[in-house]
Structure 1
Amino acid sequence: MRPLYRHAAWAVAAPILTYAAFIMLGVTPFVQRHILYAHKLYQWWQNSDLPQNWGFARNQVTSFHLPTEDGESIHAWHVLPLPVYRQHQEALEIQPTGHCGDVQTSESLRILREDPSAKLILYLHGNAGHLPSVVRAPSFHMYTATSNYHVLAIDYRGFGTSTGSPTEDGLILDAYAALNFAMVKAGLSPDRIIILGHSLGSAVAAGAAERYARVHGIDFAGLIMVAGFSNLSDMLSGYAIGGLVPILKPLRSYPRVLRLILGCLVDHWESAKRLSNMVNIVHRNNMEDDRDKNKTKGKKGNQRRHLRVSLIHAADDNDIPCIEDDRMFATAIAPLIPTKDGLEPTPDEIFALKEQRTKHLGKGAFVSEWREGDVYIRQERFPHGGHNNIVLHPPVLLEMMRIFEEAAQRRQ
């Protein structure tokens, strides 16, 4: 019977030892970032300089590289909306195809720059793959098929043909480079730009938007976070690949060990805190502006700020649980809730206040809206879409329309 016991012991010990070895490797920064970003999962057999391979019209997409302020070169696509493309089709079709070495001379940039009504979506994708991977190319098709929305999408450093290696600060700098291109090279005002982030990209979007709001005092038309997460630590503690293969979930029964492992994270992606920071910045600025105007009639106050954040998640997301949006919404609105006797609102109080502003739309679906002056936080739970296909579902494109409509009203 001893060989039988030995085999049984190994059958139990082998998975535990393998899991322990995986965790030990995962605490090292090099391996950790490869697991988190999966940036080396690149389809080398696919030439992302030939967007026609993904069903785009000839030169509807300009493929080029952007420099970042720290010296990296990131791959980008500028996708023209088809109605605009149709107006300039003859001029576009005679242009060379493939990689554009000097985007400043491209016909597509000229079209964007000379259109005073142009609107742009900065698309920040999730981890793994490259620009056209998974649902990315299909989503670009959907956003540009009938609208006049341009799409600017980037591969972060270390992804696809972009140089460098991914880090939290580095990815935010990559988004910075894209936004700088849109505002400086293309000449778009911030109120004509929506930052759209999916999955990991939602954290990049929050990081870039928060830094622009805090450092430069710039507010964009809107920030859309699709299938996002509140912070990396909380997300990983309950994360399972495809909802089936747990990463750190087994360690939740051992909180000290879990805290020790999470303490080794080199990137943190505190999206909820960044949303809270933006709310504080905009809300306090506008309160000061109101006080100045009340004190002295005709006195010029601070420049009026605005913030439009949209959280969209599918109820059947098996990768990042939709409860993450609940956490982000609660953290974002907390600065807008008056304190009682100096005490912050409790989670139950926040939930009750949120429920008053929630419209339930059937099983697994609702919309919660919180408006406070020029701060608007919106959360939509959609019943279907999973983790990836949600970017192709109606809530995302409809929210783009609402955001641009509100931005147009503010300009009037």
Structure 2
Amino acid sequence: MAPRWSIPLVAGLAAPFGLYISFILLGSIPLFQRQYVRLSGTLIRGPYTSAAGEMLTSLLPVSYTRTSSIRSFGMTSISQNTGGSQAYLRNEDRLQAQPAGFAQDVTTTESFKMLREDPDARLVVYFHGNAGHVAQAIRPDSYHALTDNSNNHVLAIDYRGFGKSTGIPSESGLINDGAAAVDWAMKVAKVPASQIVILGQSLGTAVTSGVAEHFAMQGVEFAGVIMVASFSNLPTLLSRYSAAGFIPVLSPVRAIPPLMRFFQGFVVDKWQSDARLATLVGLTRTRLRLTLIHAKNDVEIPCSEDDALFRAAAGSVIGTDLDEEDFAKWKEERTVLRDDGTFVATVKSSQPDIVIREELVPYGGHNDVMMSSSVILAVMRSFGLESTKAS
């Protein structure tokens, strides 16, 4: 007969195991999978801030038309000419007179008019991560970082099912939403692709790779493609991902490959950024600036995921399939290693003009890395500003 103390012990161990199994089983259902990836909408809600008169960025919640069935929500941020604060000062009366609160039609806002009226406008289309909406957490601060003391404009969107945007999220749906936002920027705001950088963080990097591939197939090339805290593909990520940094997904079964493959087979939305970047590079005919940035202390998505993406993209430049050992040697020759273990690896091609850059930074974790100088400098390089002489 088992001792009495063993009963609560077994029950205590069985409870978390049961919860984990329930979590995995629910995750095999497409509806729940997409909610896990989404972690938004009714699950996480916070206030939308209206900062139409705020100094420097003039953030403004707006609505714009995406499709006939999806009502879209985004946030615009303007900053132009010789710096965010100077631009605001020159247009202070105009911006202060702009009505605060949600704007039903973005084309009626001063933010949009200033973007449309600026022939030299540089636009960053920002695709955020999986939790919350455009105005939550670090996102407004990251808009500031991208626009302060620059002449960058920012358009950030909520995908379908996120924030105030209607619809149900899916891989194809989110990529369509991202592509529609970029298409809107080119056709309605009249910003040419050569003056647009598409930038994503976390889940937004998968959207970014999908959008970049979509337009590459049409022969459209952007000023730059920047992916921060990215992952190679979802099945691979789930084998090592921990939600919030400590809740394992499939990592507990990684030691049993057949069981791992069984669970990975239930993943509906694959989010294969590695394959998409290889296609993007292969379709480039004129110019590509592709930048991968990851923090060494990211506890949610391992920085090794960027290595896989770099290899996929660089492989299209090399034109040959090197084995893992040979590729590591090839990459080492093109890497500047720092004393703290971080590095910058760069591969270049002259015809077409391609620069692929992988940068591992020491700090910033999964989210705060968006405010690092590496992201801002990546935007500047994409726009070719490293060759601009100081006046």
TM-score (norm 2): 0.92
Fraction of identical pairs, as percent:
39
In the alignment, which of 266, 269, 284 is matched to residue 267 of structure 1? 269
Tell me, which stretches of 5 or more residues in structure 2 are unaligned? none
Gap change, CA 1:146 and 1:406, over 3 Å in 2: closer
C-alpha displacement of 1:181: 1.7
One-letter code aligned to 1:12: L
| Aligned equivalent of 2:123 | 120
Query: More deviation in 61-70 or 395-404?
Result: 61-70
For the 8 Å contact 1:26–1:32, the answer to whether it is kept is: yes
Shift of 1:28: 0.7
Which residue does the alignment assign to 2:51?
51
Distance of aligned partners of 1:41 and 1:322 in 2 relative to their CA distance in 1, 3 Å threshold: farther
Distance 2:278 2:385 in 1: 22
Secondary structure in 1 matching 2:236? helix
Task: Report how far residue 175 of structure 1 moved.
Answer: 0.8
Deviations 1:219-242 (A, max 9, x none): 100000000000001111011124
Judge conservation of contact 2:56–2:144 (CA < 8 Å) in 1.
no
Q: Say whether the 8 Å CA contact 1:360–1:366 is kept in structure 2.
A: yes
Letter of the aligned partner of 1:47 in structure 2?
A: Y
- The answer (yes or no) to whether the contact 2:299–2:366 under 8 Å persists in 1 is yes
Distance, in Å, in 2 between the alignment partners of 1:156 and 1:192 is 23
| 2:297 alignment counterpart | 316
Asked whether the equivalents of residues 122 and 152 of structure 1 are also in contact (C-alpha less than 8 Å), the reply is yes
- The equivalent residue for 1:255 is 257
Matched, 1:379 2:381: no
- Give the Cα–Cα distance (whole angstroms) in 1 for the partners of residues 208 and 357 of structure 2: 16
Match of 1:67 among 59, 65, 68: 65
* CA distances 1:216-266 after superposition (whole Å, capped 9, x unpaired): 210100000000000001111011124322111001122222111111111
Give the 3 Å change call, closer, same or farther, for CA 408–213 of structure 1 in structure 2.
farther
Q: Whole-Å Cα distance in 2 between the matches of residues 312 and 222 of structure 1?
A: 13
Determine if contact 1:60/1:80 at 8 Å carries over to the other structure. yes
Alignment of 1:11-410 (within 5 A): 11-40=12-41, 44=45, 46-48=47-49, 50-51=50-51, 56-57=54-55, 60-69=58-67, 71-81=69-79, 82=84, 83-214=86-217, 216-282=218-284, 286=285, 305-339=286-320, 344-373=321-350, 374-405=353-384
- Aligned AA for 1:237? S
TM-score (norm 1): 0.88
- Kept in 2: contact 1:199–1:227 (CA 8 A): yes
Check conservation: 2:116, 2:189, Cα contact below 8 A: yes
**Pair member with larger Rg:** 1
Q: Distance in 2 between matches of 1:179 and 1:166?
A: 18
Residues 40 and 100 (structure 1), Cα distance of their counterparts in 2 relative to 1, 3 Å cut = closer
Compared CA separation, residues 250 and 151, structure 1 to 2 (3 A): same
Instruction: Give the count of matched residue pairs.
Output: 380
Letter of the structure 2 residue corresponding to residue 33 of structure 1: R
Q: CA RMSD in A?
A: 1.9
The structure whose residues are more often helix, as a share, is 1
Q: CA deviation at 1:353?
A: 0.8
Q: CA deviation at 1:268?
A: 0.8
d(CA) in 2 for partners of 1:206 and 1:325? Answer: 13
Alpha-carbon distance in structure 2 between the residues aligned to 1:368 and 1:186: 35
Q: Per-residue deviation at 1:380?
A: 0.5
Asked if the contact 1:58/1:93 (under 8 Å) is kept, the reply is no
Counterpart code for 1:310: T
Q: Deviations over 1:9-46 (max 9, x none)?
A: 32333322221111111111111111111013666451
Q: Structure 1 residues 408 and 75, CA, compared in 2 at 3 Å: closer, same or farther?
A: farther
Given that residues 68 and 173 in structure 1 are in contact (C-alpha distance below 8 angstroms), is that contact kept between their aligned partners in structure 2? no
Letter in 1 for 2:381: R
Q: CA deviation at 1:70?
A: 5.7
Answer yes or no: is the 8 Å Cα contact 2:234–2:272 preserved in 1: yes
